Structure 1
Amino acid sequence: MVIDHKKIDLFGKSFIQKVVLKPPFEYTFPVSEQACFLYMLAGEMQYQFDDDHINIPANYSLFLNCINSGKQIHNSNSNSNGEIVILTFHPDILKKVYARELPPLLQRPRNTISNLSGEKINNDFLIQKYIEGLLFYFENPSLVNDDILILKLKEIILLLSQTRNAEAIQVILSQLFSPATYTFKQIIEAHLFSQVSIEELARKTNLSVSSFKREFTRLYNDSPANYIKTKRLEKAAGLLLASDNRVTDIAFDCGFNDLANFTRSFHDKYNVTPTNYRLKARQ
């Protein structure tokens, strides 16, 4: 239930909102070409996409695009009201503000294949102070003008580019300007030999872990862990024969981050250690 709602527009479109919600509440995001930054001032919310749930407590935030459907926030457990500040990023307004050149955060990252559409941002002191500054304008709306709002837009873009989540935010924002939907298999093949976990691959495909595993098994007729490990070991076996690289380097190049685990897995598959596999082949 909405108790209070205040809004500030930029160029005729919603830019900043402050919403006070009384639990239980639920909001499903409509499909649209925009991205949203949601900052939890007080209380907490749960972000749900597919069957994945992420808690967003006070002073934490959520960044997401609304190009895909199925995303919602809700809260049914808290006894206290939730207060949320929402900043909306419209691609046409961003192009107008950055008429000469889009900043790096709005450009598509190189060599990044991902359908990621949501990212939780941890408590960040500078963003917290930025949000506190925005509250002043809700209390003094007569002082608001387009020039100030453009500065606030550029400021949040700069702050987001300096967070530890900048890479994920760049992927999400860039989709507004050069949308590209990658297939499930394209994402898997692109990261097959990278040192990424199943959880990270699920995020890159914009699925929960359980949905990712189901989709993987349907497409590959194998579990993600077993298929990925098998492919990495096969590549490692080929490199052991085709190169003089150290076993340690080959292990890391094939996506293993632990030499002992690589050696054990290699022995389980080929009944010989990597070193002896290379020696036997050359003899």
Structure 2
Amino acid sequence: MLFWLEGGGLRPPPSIKNPTAIPMIKDYKRIDLFGHMLFEKATIIPPFRAPNPMQGEACFLHIREGSYTSFSQEDSLHITAKQSVLLKCGNYVGRMIADDHSGTYQAVAVHFHPDLLKKVYRNSLPGFLVHQKNKVPQFNMALVQASTAIDKYVDDILFYFENRHLAHEEILILKTKEIILLLLQTQNAPRILQILENLFTERTVDFKTTIESHLFSDISLQELAQLTHLSMSSFKRKFKDTYGLPPSQYFLTQRLKHSRELLTVSEASVGEIAFQCGFKTIHHFSKKFKAHFGIPPSQYRLSLRDK
């Protein structure tokens, strides 16, 4: 389930003790098929961050309003309104962001469960949905660009949410097959095909790969701990054993080193470099840069040009 629900309202997941804000649900509905959730839709008022572990299932998520950032163990993907993402079985952290004008986030999800797909395809899965033992999955998620076909499909799903009496089993089966066929005709079809071939095979990576994949991501230590399946205390202990430094100190050092390299070779502005290196504000970046190198970043760049 992409939206943590309890008692008719959104709640922060158990692992998040101090969420930035408690989001408010405006609308939530789901449609099940063969005892499993198939379609899900929600309109909420963010900000909201939550772990999104998907063991033994996969998901197609379409953003209608706002945007969504998905972090896997070794990648991150930002999905804006009208775009979608295909997520295979794996461990993720999701971040819902409100639309600037409406102040809401709205998404529609299609869930894929192996037992559901076996019944949809009458116990005979098409070749591209059968796990390829000789192929190692390279990706956990794939971006699906905005398209008229996907928009029309999502509109159809929303119609059945409003007219549940018409959502008969055979129609739901057809709509499940339809989205898979549509995904195979998108611009990102080769990557999507590879994900479909390993839809329920979790791609796991080691601790260091996860850390180094997110050195410059806007991700919290709590979210990194969730991606590595560790409690916060275990995560900090393993991190120090691996890198010899507490995580906050190590991340700051690596980000400052990288920012200095970019100031040397890149034409990007100081602000752009700050965000590329994982700093939330230019002020915070400048303060830490000066404390570490003894000179503000803008002055450091000017000194290089003088030389």
TM over 0.5: yes
| Contact map agreement 2:86 2:144 (CA 8 A) in 1 | yes
Task: Rate the CA distance shift 1:50–1:182 in 2: closer, same or farther, 3 A.
Answer: closer
> 1:118: Cα distance to partner?
1.1
2:194 is equivalent to residue 171 of structure 1: yes
- Residue 262 of structure 2 aligns with which residue? none
Name which of 8, 13, 29 aligns with 1:6. Answer: 29
| Contact map agreement 1:115 1:182 (CA 8 A) in 2 | no
> 1:87: Cα distance to partner?
0.4
CA distance in 1, matches of 2:159, 2:170: 16
Name which of 127, 130, 133 aligns with 2:153. Answer: 130
CA distance in 2, matches of 1:183, 1:142: 45
Name which of 51, 55, 59 aligns with 2:82. Answer: 59
- State the Cα deviation string for residues 11-39 of structure 1 (Å, max 9, x = none): 12110011001111223213421001000
> 1:173: Cα distance to partner?
2.9
> 1:89: Cα distance to partner?
0.3
Task: Return the TM-score normalized by structure 2.
Answer: 0.55
Q: Could you say what the CA RMSD is over the residues aligned between the two structures, in angstroms?
A: 3.0
What letter matches 1:208 in structure 2? S
What letter matches 2:68 in structure 1? M
> 1:51: Cα distance to partner?
7.4
CA distance in 1, matches of 2:148, 2:106: 18
Task: Rate the CA distance shift 1:78–1:105 in 2: closer, same or farther, 3 A.
Answer: farther
> 1:52: Cα distance to partner?
4.7
Q: Where do residues 72-91 of structure 1 align in structure 2 (5 Å cutoff)? A: 72-75=94-97, 78=100, 80-91=103-114
| Contact map agreement 1:35 1:173 (CA 8 A) in 2 | no
Q: Where do residues 125-164 of structure 1 align in structure 2 (5 Å cutoff)? A: 125-164=148-187
> 1:140: Cα distance to partner?
0.8
- Residue 262 of structure 1 aligns with which residue? none
Task: Return the TM-score normalized by structure 1.
Answer: 0.59
- State the Cα deviation string for residues 232-274 of structure 1 (Å, max 9, x = none): xxxxxxxxxxxxxxxxxxxxxxxxxxxxxxxxxxxxxxxxxxx
Task: Rate the CA distance shift 1:82–1:61 in 2: closer, same or farther, 3 A.
Answer: same
Task: Rate the CA distance shift 1:77–1:115 in 2: closer, same or farther, 3 A.
Answer: same
2:41 is equivalent to residue 21 of structure 1: no
Name which of 86, 91, 96 aligns with 1:69. Answer: 91
**Unaligned residue ranges in structure 2 (runs of 5+):** 1-22, 217-241, 243-307
CA distance in 1, matches of 2:188, 2:198: 16
- State the Cα deviation string for residues 215-248 of structure 1 (Å, max 9, x = none): xxx9xxxxxxxxxxxxxxxxxxxxxxxxxxxxxx
2:37 is equivalent to residue 37 of structure 1: no
- Residue 213 of structure 2 aligns with which residue? 208
| Contact map agreement 1:31 1:68 (CA 8 A) in 2 | yes
Q: Where do residues 235-274 of structure 1 align in structure 2 (5 Å cutoff)? A: none
**SS state of the match for residue 69, structure 1?**
coil
Task: Rate the CA distance shift 1:108–1:210 in 2: closer, same or farther, 3 A.
Answer: farther
| Contact map agreement 1:109 1:171 (CA 8 A) in 2 | no
CA distance in 2, matches of 1:168, 1:109: 14
CA distance in 2, matches of 1:120, 1:69: 17
- Residue 234 of structure 1 aligns with which residue? none
Task: Rate the CA distance shift 1:73–1:104 in 2: closer, same or farther, 3 A.
Answer: farther
Structure 1 runs (4+) greater than 6 angstroms displaced? none
2:142 is equivalent to residue 119 of structure 1: yes
**Unaligned residue ranges in structure 1 (runs of 5+):** 185-201, 212-217, 219-283
- State the Cα deviation string for residues 185-215 of structure 1 (Å, max 9, x = none): xxxxxxxxxxxxxxxxx9xx9x83759xxxx
Task: Rate the CA distance shift 1:8–1:173 in 2: closer, same or farther, 3 A.
Answer: same
| Contact map agreement 2:90 2:202 (CA 8 A) in 1 | no
Percent sequence identity is: 36
